[in-house]
Structure 1
Amino acid sequence: MSQEDQAASAGGLNGARHLEEESRGLLRKILLGQAYRQIMAANIRGHGLKFLSTSEGRWSLVADLAKILKSVSRAQEIYTAQGGGDLRQDAAVKMERIPYPASRLELAAFLATSDLAESIAMEGYSDSACVPLATLARENLVHERTATKRGQELFQAFAADPAQQAHAQQMFSRWLVIALLALGRPGTRGDERAVALGLRSRTCAQAAGLFLEQLDPFISACHLELPDLESLGVVLSP
């Protein structure tokens, strides 16, 4: 083999290694974002149990909680395989700024927004080049969360009262912003590369747009308005 061929071969190998390292790093970031959303959902569900008065309602929330924790454990396995450490601990730093609902209605607003955001995110991973992540995403999409549906109905009934509109809008806007931010920051190099490498099928901006589109029927049913997201710190496009 000539020196030129040897150099080309070495360059190709180094390029492949770099690509693999880049993919692994991006995959760890994806798993960290997923863990952030799911641990937040688990913590708030645990906190929200005190707002439910019936055994049926509590068991419904507990069933969702168990599924979420199982998913986080599965994500930890993938994270470890990609060179990551303790997924829960790595995600804990971002958890400090997440508020907790102060009422059953606020819990309902959280469930309505966060569960849709999680579903949109999982759809983006369902055909991921990382087979374990794709499998986990599809398993998450199969699970129907009955507590969320009940929460949506409760919030819709509350928002139907004109005297409660301002309060309903305030609660909705608060959790809408949190759900959108949890979908990731649009326009970063990592965002674009994750799609280019096939780790997910949508950019953060595309996911946010689809989220708002699918949330629109709920917004209309509750007679709510989409707030000025930019003024609340949400960037929807690069």
Structure 2
Amino acid sequence: MMFTHESRLDGRYRKTLVQMMAGQAYRELAAAQLFGYGLQFVPELRWLKLIVWHVREEMEHYEDVVRMYRDFTGESVEPLVQERLAQRPVPFAESWYELAMAQFLYDRGGFWQLRDYDECSFLPYRKVIRKIIEEERGHQALGEKIVVELTRTGKYEEEKQAVFEKWLRQGLLSFGRPGTEGARYAIDVGLRRRDPAAVMQDFIDDIKPAVKACGLVLPPLEKIGIEAPAGGLDLSLQGPDSVRRMAAAAQQAARSA
């Protein structure tokens, strides 16, 4: 069943939807702040233009969600977002290499999280999410491309695994806890498609080609403070090679900037 207006929603559905909107607003503003802070580390004009474009896009997405939340609740989500950022701040990158890793993993995690809501049964939410997904596609490969290029210089051997694990954790946090009753409810009423465990696995599979190309290792989830699904995840570095596909997407993003 699909819904187009708040008046038809029951209490739990509405509460879950409000939580989803607030969470999305938090992620959009956190991303804008992360990449805005990181501008100081960008070494070249070609990349500076792309990161500035990314920050502007994240702010536009934040505005979209703020507007949707106000239309739905009659209230502002901004105080909630600021409170959550104070309680659970997303760390900032402290180098160009780390900023690239953050864009690769934090941004990619957000993209996979969004895709799980693109068939949301509340049509106004679905419309906003699909708009964000379409606009996010343009820079999905950018961080991966930079990370692979920088890692292959050999200058980051001592730090690469620690930086990777730091931002892998942030990417995985985007999906929520697997196997919860709340996730099952959201699936049952059509707010999301799958349990976070399945989305986590897709995200892991998507980054494996770049992980292999950089000589990195996927750590046990408990090592980075992530609750593993009951059946675990496949962390073996096997799967289709998507580096060429992602590089092509990055080139398209560069032309569009």
Task: Find the counterpart in structure 1 of residue 65 from structure 2.
Answer: 75
User: What CA distance in whole angstroms lies between the structure 1 residues aligned with 2:73 and 2:176?
Assistant: 22
Distance 1:147 1:82, change over 3 A: closer
Q: 1:232 offset after TM fit, Å?
A: 2.2
Task: Find the counterpart in structure 1 of residue 241 from structure 2.
Answer: none
Q: How does 1:1-238 map to 2 (within 5 A)?
A: 20-83=10-73, 85-96=75-86, 97-144=89-136, 149-161=141-153, 164-237=156-229
Secondary structure at the counterpart of residue 119 of structure 2: coil
Cα deviation per residue 1:188-226 (whole Å; 9 max; x = unaligned)?
Answer: 222111111101112222211111111111111111101
Cα deviation per residue 1:101-132 (whole Å; 9 max; x = unaligned)?
Answer: 00010000000001211111111111111111
Q: Determine if contact 1:60/1:146 at 8 Å carries over to the other structure.
A: no
User: What CA distance in whole angstroms lies between the structure 2 residues aligned with 1:82 and 1:21?
Assistant: 14
Q: 1:167 offset after TM fit, Å?
A: 0.7
Distance 1:121 1:189, change over 3 A: same
Structure 2 unmatched ranges of 5 or more: 1-6, 231-257
Identity within the alignment, %: 26
User: What CA distance in whole angstroms lies between the structure 1 residues aligned with 2:110 and 2:222?
Assistant: 21
1 or 2, which has the higher helix percentage?
Answer: 1
Moved more, 62-71 or 126-135: 62-71
Q: Determine if contact 1:36/1:94 at 8 Å carries over to the other structure.
A: yes
Number of equivalences: 222
**Superposition CA RMSD, Å:** 2.2
User: What CA distance in whole angstroms lies between the structure 2 residues aligned with 1:63 and 1:50?
Assistant: 15
Following superposition, which runs of at least 4 residues in structure 1 exceed 4 angstroms of deviation?
Answer: 144-148
Distance 1:116 1:151, change over 3 A: closer
Q: 1:146 offset after TM fit, Å?
A: 5.8
Instruction: Specify the code of the residue in structure 2 equivalent to 1:149.
Output: A
Distance 1:218 1:85, change over 3 A: farther
Secondary structure at the counterpart of residue 107 of structure 1: helix
Q: Determine if contact 1:126/1:138 at 8 Å carries over to the other structure.
A: yes
Task: Find the counterpart in structure 2 of residue 7 from structure 1.
Answer: none
Instruction: Specify the code of the residue in structure 1 equivalent to 2:178.
Output: P
User: What CA distance in whole angstroms lies between the structure 2 residues aligned with 1:59 and 1:161?
Assistant: 23
Moved more, 185-194 or 144-153: 144-153
Secondary structure at the counterpart of residue 166 of structure 1: coil
